[in-house]
Amino acid sequence: MILRCVAVAALACAMAAHAQPYPAKPIRLLIAASPGGGTDGIGRVMAEALSAAFKQPVVAENRGGASGMIASDVLVKSPPDGYTIMITQNAHVTNPALFKKLPYDTLKDFTPIAPLATSPLVLIAATGTGVKSVRDLVDLSKRKPEAMSFAAAESSTRLAIEQLGEATGIALTSLIYKGTGPAVADVAGGHVNFSVTTIASVLPFRGTGKLNIVAVMAGERTPFLPDVPTLAEQGLPRVDVKGWWGIFAPPNLPPALVEQLNGAIRSVLNTPPVRQRIQNFSADIWLGSPQELDAFIRSEVPAIQALAKKAGIEPE
């Protein structure tokens, strides 16, 4: 009996020695975007902040392209051990409306961890177009319908472009880009005429004379661009599109890890330096639970599918 107790105690000690506290090694943070732009910037802020919080490296890894599907596919195929997570944005909920076949199920194959931030999208124009207002856009479309080319960095911006086209009655052409950084750079360079994008991605070009910020695509002005009128002010009250960012993990992540990750993320978002750095991307902090993010995703996916159907957008 004594020997049996000793053996059990030894086994328990051995198991405890191997049960290391999380995280015991570096965490990979997939960024569902190319370098540049808001998703990349916010992702790198979070990687740095979480590295300090966990006392383990959180390594940012850009997996841009295919409207976030490349990063998402990598994530869902990763083990549910907390060592691979992903930051993504609106494309996560718009992809099901725009693509017939996804390599995953948006509602079943992800574990929502935490929302991060929100920000309205903006309509921008290359300086050479002369477009500084919605009225200018409509007038140009009548003179040069072939000039209505839009850089669409992800499926969410493509849907916003379609909404804009429906509201103005203009036929708009979307040119697909791998990320907001390259899309906005091409507008600034005059290689494509327009885009709908995040505020963060256009700030480096503000005041350079390379592009015009035509409108905020929301019902009210943003404090980050107080001098830029909304679409509603310019006669298009039905178009209201906000960007958002959140962190997800593979399916079936243990609840304890979900709560630990969410707690760490909320904690760093509450620190003044991190809040300021994210607000520097013209984004408002969104503190929330895994359940809140899950409910948001489950409401947005069918709503956007209905919107796409109403707009006559056929999945590719």
pLDDT in tens, 209-234: 999 999 999 888 998 899 999 999 99
CA distances from 3 to 9, 25, 179 (A): 10, 36, 64
pLDDT at 180 over 90: no
**Tens of pLDDT, residues 247-287:** 999 999 999 999 999 999 999 999 999 999 999 888 989 99
**Tens of pLDDT, residues 67-115:** 899 999 999 999 999 999 999 999 999 999 989 899 999 999 999 999 9
User: What H or E segment, with its residue span, contains residue 308?
Assistant: helix 290-310
* Higher-scoring residue by pLDDT: 1, 208: 208
CA distances from 264 to 16, 127, 247, 270, 314 (A): 24, 43, 12, 10, 40
Provide mean pLDDT across the span 125-130.
97
pLDDT at 67: 87
pLDDT at 133 over 60: yes
Find out whether 30 and 85 touch, Cβ atoms under 8 Å. yes
Provide mean pLDDT across the span 230-247.
90
Instruction: Show the tokens assigned to 283.
Output: 């984004």
Backbone angles phi, psi at 109, to 5 degrees: -100, 15
CA distances from 228 to 132, 232, 300 (A): 10, 12, 27
Query: How many residues are recorded in the chain?
Result: 316
User: What H or E segment, with its residue span, contains residue 241?
Assistant: none
- pLDDT level of residue 60 (50, 70, 90 thresholds): very high
CA distances from 2 to 6, 9, 12, 16, 181 (A): 6, 11, 15, 21, 68
pLDDT at 235 over 80: yes
**Tens of pLDDT, residues 1-47:** 444 444 444 344 434 434 579 999 999 999 999 898 789 999 999 99
pTM of the model: 0.77
pLDDT at 301: 96
**Tens of pLDDT, residues 136-145:** 999 999 999 9
User: What H or E segment, with its residue span, contains residue 59?
Assistant: strand 58-62
pLDDT at 18: 43
Backbone angles phi, psi at 144, to 5 degrees: -135, 80
Q: Mean pLDDT lowest for which of 6-10, 58-62, 152-156?
A: 6-10
Interatomic CA distance for residues 257 and 50, integer angstroms:
14
Interatomic CA distance for residues 154 and 195, integer angstroms:
11
